[in-house]
Amino acid sequence: MPIYEFLCRTCGQKSNVFVQSVNSALPSACPACGAHDLTRLISSFAYHKSESTRLEEAGDPMSPGPDYYKDPRNIGRWAETRMKQMGADMPSQVQDMIQAAREGEMPPPVKDL
């Protein structure tokens, strides 16, 4: 079930049309202004990477690039790497906070850990 994008040449408004099948009728008029001068656009698409590919492309947590921490999924990666290098187990509370941060929940202050 495709979604088509159209541009109205009269008002410049973009519109999305969800159709049940490729044989369905496409709109003949702009939903914003009613003009009949629509042009079909080439839509963008999403490409999803595996977690291992994303981590590989993110770089080394021991020497991160300037954009490394702009991706919240990298939160805690340095700590995890260092703990592994030292042969130490990361406390479960810290693991829970790192996972919560990766899922969008900011951790509470960690001063008592």
Identify which of 82, 40, 41, 83 has the alpha carbon closest to the alpha carbon of residue 60: 82
Amino acid at 16: N
pLDDT for 8 equals 93
**pLDDT tens digits along 47-103:** 778 878 877 888 887 787 877 777 767 778 888 888 899 999 989 888 888 888 777
Residues 76 and 61: their CA atoms lie apart, in Å, by: 9
pLDDT for 20 equals 78
> In a 10 Å sphere around its CB, with 0-12 CB exposed, 13-18 middle and 19+ buried, how is residue 38 labelled?
buried
pLDDT for 48 equals 79
Q: How many Cβ atoms are within 10 Å of 76's Cβ, its own excluded?
A: 21
φ, ψ of residue 99 in degrees (nearest 5): -65, -40
Identify which of 65, 99, 66, 67 has the alpha carbon closest to the alpha carbon of residue 80: 99
For residues 16-42, average pLDDT: 85
Answer whether residue 110 shows pLDDT above 60: no
Cα Rg of the chain (Å, integer): 24
Residues 20 and 79: their CA atoms lie apart, in Å, by: 49
Domain ranges of the chain: 3-41, 61-102
Residue with the larger pLDDT of the pair 35 and 77? 35
